[in-house]
């Protein structure tokens, strides 16, 4: 039985991944909501400055981890000039700083696995940028640079590092759109439909598989032909 860590396990994508891995041993992290599926669960707000000591404490009884899946995220739809620095800090902590802290703490445990995996859920906006989402896009772009760089850094180990960059995924974020905005968006998408969370999970499962050992430093575009 493999052991996986899912950070952001109660979001739409995180929950779908958790369901798919429910037969494995799963450690989940969320800010405030309990996960729907069985796991060893911990509450931790990764939108703030978490410490290495805090993360060490969560995993003090775990020797080996087979995969870290990073899936937290919140929207930030504002022009840069209207964005508060506190909102910038929140996006930075969620996408970059907390991710780095978790990797630093868990890397020795990932190296104990024959097939250690780090999978980051990024975004299409990290690939191409988005007006009114400059900060969100910048942090997702930083995630992708981290993935590519760390993959090279760890190429001599058993640990691979990859990301999945979804397009428009059906869930809580898209539920916030008004009917006119949603209609406009669907018309713009080449497939004229939103992506289901399970489609993202399918890509994550591929990257976690032992037969994906030569896949590292990749960003999988799951966007229905949008911005390819």
Q: Which domains does the chain have, with CATH numbers?
A: 3-169+198-220 (3.40.50.720)
Looking at every residue in the chain, the average pLDDT score rounds to: 92
Give me the pLDDT at residue 178, please.
64
Q: Which two tokens stand for residue 226?
A: 């949008």
Q: Bridge partners of 163?
A: 120, 219
Q: Which of the two residues, 91 and 185, has the higher pLDDT score? A: 91
Give the C-alpha separation, 13 to 91, whole Å: 18
pLDDT tens-place string over residues 85-111: 999 999 999 999 999 999 999 999 999
**Residue-level pLDDT at 177:** 65
Q: What is the pLDDT of residue 181?
A: 72
Q: What is the mean pLDDT of residues 223-228?
A: 79
d(CA 114, CA 1): 13
What is the token pair recorded at 51?
């410490």
Catalytic residue (one of 4, 136, 184, 227)? 136
C-alpha Rg value of the chain to the nearest Å: 17
The whole-angstrom separation of Cα 102 and Cα 28 is 13
- On the question of pLDDT at 207 being above 70, the answer is yes
Please write the tens of the pLDDT for every residue from 130-181: 888 899 999 999 999 999 999 999 999 999 999 999 987 877 766 666 677 7
Q: Is 173 exposed, middle or buried (0-12, 13-18, 19+ CB in 10 A)?
A: middle
Q: What is the pLDDT of residue 192?
A: 72
Whole-number pLDDT of residue 228: 64
Whether the per-residue pLDDT at 53 is higher than 90: the answer is yes
Mapped onto helix, strand or coil, the DSSP state of residue 148 is helix
Neighbours of 199 (CB within 10 A): 18
Instruction: Please tell me the distance from the alpha carbon of residue 146 to that of residue 157, in angstroms, as a whole number.
Output: 17
In the numeric block, which tokens belong to residue 2? 């493999």
pLDDT at position 195 is 85
What end-to-end distance do the CA atoms of the chain give, in Å?
Answer: 37
The pTM assigned to this predicted structure is 0.93
CB 140 within 8 A of CB 159: no
Q: Check if 37 is active-site.
A: no
Q: How many CA atoms lie within 13 A of 34 on its CB side?
A: 5
């Amino acid at each position: 039985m493999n052991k996986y860590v899912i950070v952001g396990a109660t979001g739409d994508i995180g929950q779908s991944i958790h369901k798919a891995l429910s037969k494995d041993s799963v450690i989940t992290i969320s800010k405030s909501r309990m996960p729907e599926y069985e796991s060893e669960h911990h509450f931790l707000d990764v939108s703030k400055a978490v410490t290495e000591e805090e993360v060490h404490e969560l995993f003090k009884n775990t020797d080996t981890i087979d995969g870290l899946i990073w899936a937290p995220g919140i929207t930030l739809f504002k022009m840069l000039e209207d964005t508060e620095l506190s909102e910038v800090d929140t996006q930075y902590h969620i996408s970059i700083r907390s991710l780095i802290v978790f990797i630093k703490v868990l890397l020795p445990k990932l190296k104990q696995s024959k097939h250690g995996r780090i999978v980051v859920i990024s975004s299409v906006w990290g690939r191409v940028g988005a007006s009114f989402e400059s900060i969100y896009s910048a942090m997702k772009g930083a995630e992708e640079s981290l993935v590519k760089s760390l993959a090279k850094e760890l190429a001599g180990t058993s640990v691979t590092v990859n990301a999945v960059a979804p397009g428009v995924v059906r869930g809580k974020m898209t539920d916030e759109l008004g009917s006119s905005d949603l209609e406009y968006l669907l018309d713009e998408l080449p497939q004229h439909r939103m992506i289901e969370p399970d489609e993202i999970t399918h890509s994550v499962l591929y990257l976690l598989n032992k037969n994906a050992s030569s896949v590292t430093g990749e960003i999988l575009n799951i966007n229905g032909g949008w911005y390819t």
